[in-house]
Amino acid sequence: MRRVFGLETEYGITIDGAESVDVVAESIELVRGYTEHGAHMKWDYDLEDPHCDARGFR
């Protein structure tokens, strides 16, 4: 088989001492804090089809 398959790993996020956590907002801040200033997204989503998987099925 000559196809490239991806691997998706999910992680949890929490903040010590916080009563409640907005995981989406905290994840966004984590990514923003990690990236370099002026970094640009290099992934081109134009070829992706969310209704078609790697095997070609819809």
Give CA angle at 24 (17, 47), nearest 5°: 150
The pTM of this model reads: 0.43
Amino acid at site 47: L
Rounded mean pLDDT of 8-21? 85
The pLDDT of residue 17 is 92
Neighbours of 36 (CB within 10 A): 5
- Determine the Cα–Cα distance for residues 40 and 23; give it in Å rounded to an integer: 23
As a whole number of angstroms, the longest Cα–Cα distance in the chain is 49
Amino acid at site 49: D
Per domain, the residue ranges of the chain are: 1-58
Per-residue pLDDT for 57 more than 60? yes
3-state secondary structure of 2: coil
List, for residues 23-47, the tens digit of each pLDDT value.
889 888 887 787 777 767 677 777 7
